[in-house]
A and B are shown apart, each in its own frame.
Chain A
Amino acid sequence: MKFGKILLILALALIGGVVIVGGCVYSGYNKAITLDEGVKSAWAQVENQLQRRFELIPNLVETVKGVAGQEKEVFLGIAKARESYFQAKGPAAKARAAGGFESALSRLLVLRETYPELKSNQSFLKLQDTLEGTENRLSVERKRYNDSVKTINTFARKLLGRFYASLAGVEKAEYFEVSEEAKTAPKVSFTDKSEEG
């Protein structure tokens, strides 16, 4: 075989290789970006619902104050939890603050037992419905956010994924996890305990 022919074949192989590698890097980079945007938009949905929950709370608190005004500790707990949420930055800190809020909220709902007239108060029931709706939506968005985090973290931990992620400047995301305190505190329950059994 002529030397020139060998050289030509090698050159073609090299170009082919470069094209293939370039294509892989291109798609890998794009995938990293897409996953990152997915996580960001999922988090935005979670924050939407958290925001909505915090906006609904004052109305609920007012209704309860009308009936159980002397339970100052409970209202103080809620106000503090609300504060700490708005001061928290980043998904993990916000998740912790949200968990702290949930324990404060469950203490508020426990008041239904002490003050049964709340259960027949129509405005309280309606607000409870709306709040429960927000909590439900929150759980749906949280699940979707955690799914997107799982996708991007799995990608970023894989062999080539690591490279693409660092190339695109994309980092692993944090899960929205239930805080330890929220795990031990009484669960936020909207159902009427007296109806059970």
Chain B
Amino acid sequence: MRGKGLIELCCPLKNTTRSFYGGVVGHRTAPTGGGRYIVQRAVIVLAFLAGCVPAARAEVTVQDPGRFVVDRAGIVDAGTERTIEAFLADLARKTSSQVKVLTVPTIEDEDFFGFVQRHAELWRLGQKGKGNGALLVVVPKSSGQKGHARVQTGYGLEPILPDSWCGSLARQAVDGYFRQGKYSHGIAMMAATVANKVAKASNVSLSGIPRSHGRSGRRQGGLACGGGMLPLIVMIVVFSSMGRRRRHRGRWGGGGLLQGLLLGSLMGNMLGGRRSHWSGGGFGGGFGGFGGGSFGGGGGFGGGGGGASW
């Protein structure tokens, strides 16, 4: 017996009971419970059968939630995730190129390239007509399936991130980090390298990329001794870019105030020092509010990119 459903609320009938699908089952005043009981059972059986849809080939699909790092597999620690979000949002703001990171625990029966291409076409990263989006996908190795890592490039980024470069980067991440289970470091390295390359191609410099994640393969944890210099460098970089009076799209029409707030939150993050200690969730949350809600601009993906499995 169902409680008052939506149909019941919308179209109440006196002295009647509605079935699951809204059809009238019986009258409350009717003393014969038997007939009503049979009909209700039939409806329950039908509902059950309707639910038993023949299983299609198992596929995992993740919708774009608007963040830059979508960590469904839970392999990126919170501090690293915030760092990556920061510089990827910075990249999107400065170059309109959208680079996102996706991790999933499993891709079921699908082949990896198909999975990545399907999501790239679904999320449509990058601007329409320019196709300057890229999607980094990592599937951690687990019992019963291989680990995969891939950089998928949109049409516009194909010349900047050629297939062989992406393949080499993926192999480097796999050999240096993923094989040892250091997913956070590896993903941060990949994202930072991709972001740097795209930024350099557009002649902008990004703030918020920790120095230890260079491609030289130095694996020191935390910021190097230049940590004290870094906020100063960041300030210089950001002030000079602000001075260049870049015209932003409508979303950033707030102009100076927004930039100031962003600068403040970035500074807060940088001055926090070590990766794992961020100066309060407040900054992180505040930044998430601006950076979040960044959805694909309609960029096309042709299947370019490179990856590695292990």
User: Beyond A126-B168, A140-B117, is A132–B163 a contact (Cβ under 8 Å)?
Assistant: yes
Bin the interface of chain B by size: 10 to 19
**Shortest CB distance A4–B (Å):** 53
A129 lies within 8 A of B163 (CB): yes
Contact of A140 among B146, B166, B303, B310 (CB under 8 A): B303
Q: Is B140 an interface residue (CB 8 A)?
A: no
Interfacial residues of chain A within 91-115, with CB under 8 A of chain B in the complex: none
Residue ranges of B at the interface with A (Cβ–Cβ < 8 Å): 113, 117, 146, 162-164, 166-168, 171, 301-306, 309-310
Residues of A within 8 A of B306 (CB): 129, 132-133
B309: nearest residue on chain A (CB-CB)? A191
Tell me the complex Cα distance, A129–B306, Å: 7
B146 lies within 8 A of A130 (CB): no
Tell me the complex Cα distance, A196–B144, Å: 11
**Shortest CB distance B197–A (Å):** 16
B302: nearest residue on chain A (CB-CB)? A137
A134: nearest residue on chain B (CB-CB)? B163
Residues of A within 8 A of B113 (CB): 136, 139
Residues of B within 8 A of A137 (CB): 302-304
Residue ranges of A at the interface with B (Cβ–Cβ < 8 Å): 125-130, 132-134, 136-141, 191, 195-196
Chain B interface main SS type: mixed
Q: A125-B171, A133-B163, A133-B304 are in contact. List 8 more A-B contacts (CB 8 A).
A: A128-B167, A129-B163, A129-B164, A129-B167, A129-B306, A133-B306, A139-B303, A141-B303
A130 lies within 8 A of B162 (CB): yes
Residues of A within 8 A of B303 (CB): 133, 136-141
Tell me the complex Cα distance, A181–B183, Å: 42
B158: nearest residue on chain A (CB-CB)? A133
A136 lies within 8 A of B304 (CB): yes
Nearest first, the 5 A-B pairs at minimum CB distance are A133-B163, A129-B167, A140-B303, A126-B164, A129-B164
B170: nearest residue on chain A (CB-CB)? A129
User: Beyond A140-B117, A140-B302, A140-B303, is A196–B146 a contact (Cβ under 8 Å)?
Assistant: yes
Residues of B within 8 A of A133 (CB): 163-164, 303-306
B117 lies within 8 A of A132 (CB): no
A132, A134, A138, A141 pick with most chain B CB within 10 angstroms: A132
A129 lies within 8 A of B304 (CB): no
**Shortest CB distance B120–A (Å):** 10
A130, A136, A137, A195 pick with most chain B CB within 10 angstroms: A136
Residues of B within 8 A of A132 (CB): 163, 167, 306
